[in-house]
Amino acid sequence: MSTLSHGLSWIDLKFLGRPSAIAAGIVQSPGGVALVDPGPTSCLAALELGLQWHGVRWDEVRHILLTHIHLDHAGATGTILRAHPHITVMVHERGVQHMVEPARLLKSATRLYGDQMDRLWGEFAPVSHERLVGLVGGERIEAGGRVFDVAYTPGHASHHVSYFDASSGVAFVGDTAGVCVGEGYVLPPTPPPDIDLEQWKMSVDRMLAWSPSTLFLTHFGPVTRVRPHLAELLDHLQLTSDAVRASLNEPGSDQERSERFAEWLRQELRGHMSEAQVDGYLLAAGFRHLWFGQARYWRKRGL
Ligand SMILES: [Zn+2]
């Protein structure tokens, strides 16, 4: 169940003790192992258990490939490197400085998560500059005994990259292909601060240009119905963005607008799944945060 292709597998990190919220990718070969988005430090014990289960020792892990630096994807990286300083970390060049000095990133995340930061994510330790390789997209890199094409895929985050292994057809796309649990609703995660709808659409084209047979989503796992999935992502990006735009003209505070949006989204999801499944989506994407990310985007455009 957790195998994508020969040598490619993944681990359910059991975020907050719940299944199907955050997944980490593993690329294994006799020549070394790479991890794709190791997840937050709060899930490190689950990551280590998963690696053991896959027969991976830390001294075999040579690379960590980060799609972006959000805490649920990259949070454990510094903690891992403190114990295993031989590992090289690949990240978009705009993310490099935040990995070296995470203070600004943590301040921005604290605005969203407040006093829940530690419970949700745990430590975000800095990574030393010499262990980081900055990417811009367009590179071809070797990791875990494979060659990956790197594409710049902003929209969800301005420093987001995706990794494609042509030999298996698997594309590790982080959050750019949305949140989708159990082949259900495809929800675009749109938290602040750098949602960009035009760039996101271009990133979808970039992913399609690879003609991948599988998209690997951090939230959650492999998707093989690639084209319908991405079409649904774009539809729902339009739908949620129309809802946020309309709400900007409604009376009340942003707090009230975001709460109304969260309730509307909850109803929208309820039309497609059970209440427990809706709660699963909430774990991967706080619904009120999604309003704030899109509202920021539209207001920058003068709405
Ligand atoms: Zn993210």
Q: Is 52 exposed, middle or buried (CB count within 10 Å of its CB: 0-12, 13-18, 19+)?
A: exposed
CA of 182 to the centre of ligand 1 (A): 19
pLDDT in tens, 192-233: 999 999 999 999 999 999 999 999 999 999 999 999 999 999
What counts of helices (H) and strands (E) characterise the chain? 11, 13
Phi then psi for 68, rounded to 5 degrees? -165, 175
Q: Which H or E element spans position 40? A: none
CA of 192 to the centre of ligand 1 (A): 10
Phi then psi for 11, rounded to 5 degrees? -125, 135
Cβ-defined contacts of 128-132 (< 8 Å, 24+): 128/81, 128/85, 128/100, 129/96, 129/100, 131/81, 131/85, 131/87, 131/88, 131/89, 132/88, 132/89, 132/90, 132/91, 132/96, 132/99, 132/100
Q: Which H or E element spans position 123? A: none
pLDDT in tens, 237-251: 999 999 999 999 999
pLDDT at 280: 87
pLDDT in tens, 101-110: 999 999 999 9
CA of 220 to the centre of ligand 1 (A): 12
Q: What is the mean pLDDT of residues 41-50?
A: 98
- Confidence band for 286, pLDDT divided at 50, 70 and 90: confident
On the question of pLDDT at 1 being above 70, the answer is no
- On average, the pLDDT of the chain sits at 96
In this structure, are residues 217 and 179 in contact, taking their beta carbons and an 8 Å threshold?
yes
| Of 114-123, 193-202, 235-244, 275-284, the least confident | 275-284
- Cis-peptide into 164, omega within 30 deg: no
pLDDT at 5: 87
On the question of pLDDT at 127 being above 70, the answer is yes
Strand 32-36 to strand 61-65: parallel, antiparallel, or no bridges (unpaired)? parallel
CA of 275 to the centre of ligand 1 (A): 24
Say how many C-beta atoms besides its own lie within 10 A of residue 165's C-beta: 24
Classified as helix, coil or strand, 105 is: helix
Which strands, in side-by-side order, build the sheet including 8-12? Answer: 3-5, 8-12, 23-29, 32-36, 61-65, 88-92, 132-135
- pTM greater than the 0.75 cutoff: yes
CA of 29 to the centre of ligand 1 (A): 28
CA of 31 to the centre of ligand 1 (A): 30
pLDDT at 268: 94
CA of 210 to the centre of ligand 1 (A): 22
pLDDT in tens, 163-185: 999 999 999 999 999 999 988 89
CA of 176 to the centre of ligand 1 (A): 8
d(CA 79, CA 142): 24
CA of 164 to the centre of ligand 1 (A): 18
CA of 74 to the centre of ligand 1 (A): 9
